[in-house]
Amino acid sequence: MAVLSNPIKFGTDGWRGVIAEEFTFERLALVANVAAKVLYKTYSSYTNSRTIIIGYDRRFMAEEFARVVAKAVIRAGFDVLFSESYAPTPAFSWAAKDLKALGALVVTASHNPGTYLGLKVKSAFGGSVPPEVTKEIEKLLLTEVTFADNVGGEKSFDPWPSYCQELASKVDLEEIKKAISSHNLTIFVDAMHGAAAGGLARLLGAEIKEINSERDPLFENGAPEPLPKYLSKLFTVIKEYQKVNNCSLTVGLVFDGDCDRIAAVDEQGNFLSSQILIPILIDHLTLRRKFTGEIVKTVSGSDLIPLVAKLHNLSLHETAVGYKYIADRMLDTEVLLGGEESGGIGYGSHIPERDALLSALYVLEAVVESQLNLSDYYRYLQEKTNFLSDYDRIDLPLASMEVRNKLLAQLQSQPLTEINGKKVTDCNKIDGYKFRLADHSWLMIRFSGTEPVLRLYCEAANMTEVHQTLNWAKNWAEST
């Protein structure tokens, strides 16, 4: 194999690229070869194994690309367990731990548009590999890739049964099923044409009103990302249902393309991000399940998260954006929950991996046991902490990486002292620039490391102020 002329860079969770441009059979084979060797170097002493799990989602030619991965891993001298079907990425992470493999290589582009595919590298512990592992992969890709004298073998496996059994052991499924059968709980699911399709029905064995469960590699010309702009159908379905039905508890659940991110929709058809779900989950798991441990949040997480943690005397740790940083913390510390604003939530009692199906089960359990719809539960927590806020985010495409670099240089040389007429009181630089303002609101400016995109995040007292601040930041970026 040749040395890569155009270096591959891993983002916050894996390598992704446009199919037939950056993401090709040849480049994927090179990455898989090197990733297998780095997994062996990193985890062989822990697992005493030479087996690597190979999985995939429902994207265009995902199975064919996964076959390329398997072939490259086998030629590198390792054994392969190849998935019989698509499944959530956390199912493959669980399989790596459960089957004591070296790790997992999952062909997925997560929430990206349909023109993308990618590869996630999962550790023997069942979570994303740490940054030093992906850096080692990037480094070795710049050298000549070699083959082993003795090739490995291949077996197939079904990732669903063991994964579902593991999730079922962690939640009171019978109470949820009882609420459904008594018509006290109605569940809607938007699978976004991704790997979550059918998952909740498998777990509950009950009626789930699921939409967008069929395979669509173009994702209706959108993206399988749990954001309001892609969820109009779900909003409409829930609102229409509520007009003619009287169900006391109604929950809409949304999963991204590979089912490691979650969002929700309340009984009125209102979008609820993980900024709302995480505080609810902390309260539920502490109050009713008596879980303990540290709360881990990324720097872009809501200020309500530390307030709810304080309510329950839980310590809090903040990381850069990217679940791999939360996973690292989970390996070193007793963690109750780790979450990021983009929808990834994981639990110390599970694997160090975000898991949207487990989060969905805990959300349903919280609703059933509290007898509160999600928005009511959220308002209860706001009142209890005396903290009222709204949140939103904008991903702003930039003309080029040169424009991105210019904006970054300006922030470094000319730090912002005032934003939308409000004085900047503090700036957190753990990941990008998070500006605290005099009225206790905040704006975070963060650059994508792999594409010309500026990510703008804001939390303020109400949505009007949130959008005013985000529009200010957008105008600042476009006029610089």
Q: What are the extents of the domains in the chain?
A: 15-161, 169-385, 390-479
Contact at 8 Å (CB) between 117 and 23? yes
Q: Which amino acid is at 298?
A: T
CA distances, 407 to each of 246, 372, 442 (Å)? 52, 45, 19
Report the distance separating Cα 151 and Cα 211, nearest Å: 43
Q: Contacts from 366-371 at CB under 8 Å and sequence distance 24+?
A: 366/280, 366/281, 366/283, 366/284, 366/288, 367/185, 367/249, 367/251, 368/175, 368/176, 368/179, 368/184, 368/185, 368/249, 369/172, 369/175, 369/284, 369/288, 370/284, 371/248, 371/249
CA distances, 297 to each of 282, 324, 342, 347, 348 (Å)? 12, 12, 11, 12, 13
Contact at 8 Å (CB) between 190 and 252? yes
pLDDT at res. 244: 86
**Is the CATH code 3.30.110.30 the one for domain 390-479?**
no
CA distances, 61 to each of 14, 269, 353, 477 (Å)? 18, 34, 25, 37
At 135, phi and psi to the nearest 5?
Answer: -65, -35
CATH number of this structure's domain 169-385, picked from the four choices 3.30.360.10, 3.40.50.2300, 3.40.630.30, 3.40.120.10? 3.40.120.10
Taken in order 117, 449, 465, 344, the sign of the CA dihedral is positive
Q: What's the first-to-final CA gap in the chain, in angstroms?
A: 44
Report the distance separating Cα 456 and Cα 471, nearest Å: 10
At 327, phi and psi to the nearest 5?
Answer: -60, -40
pLDDT at res. 2: 53
pLDDT at res. 5: 60
Which one, of 290, 256, 258, lies nearest residue 273 by Cα?
256
Report the distance separating Cα 315 and Cα 385, nearest Å: 16
Token pair for 20 = 């037939």
Instruction: Please identify which residue in the block is written with the tokens 């999985």.
Output: 55
**Is the CATH code 3.40.50.700 the one for domain 15-161?**
no
pLDDT at res. 170: 96
Helix (H, G, I), strand (E, B) or coil at 13: coil
Q: What is the DSSP letter of 353?
A: S
At 141, phi and psi to the nearest 5?
Answer: -70, -15
Taken in order 73, 77, 81, 82, the sign of the CA dihedral is positive
pLDDT along the chain (480 residues), means of 10: 70 88 96 97 95 98 98 97 98 98 97 95 93 93 85 96 97 95 95 97 92 96 95 96 86 97 96 97 97 97 97 96 89 95 95 97 98 97 95 92 90 93 95 95 88 92 96 92
Same fold, 15-161 and 169-385: yes
Contact at 8 Å (CB) between 381 and 272? no
CA distances, 313 to each of 115, 259, 292, 294, 345 (Å)? 46, 31, 9, 10, 20
Which one, of 234, 235, 227, lies nearest residue 273 by Cα?
227
Report the distance separating Cα 154 and Cα 71, nearest Å: 9
Contact at 8 Å (CB) between 365 and 175? yes
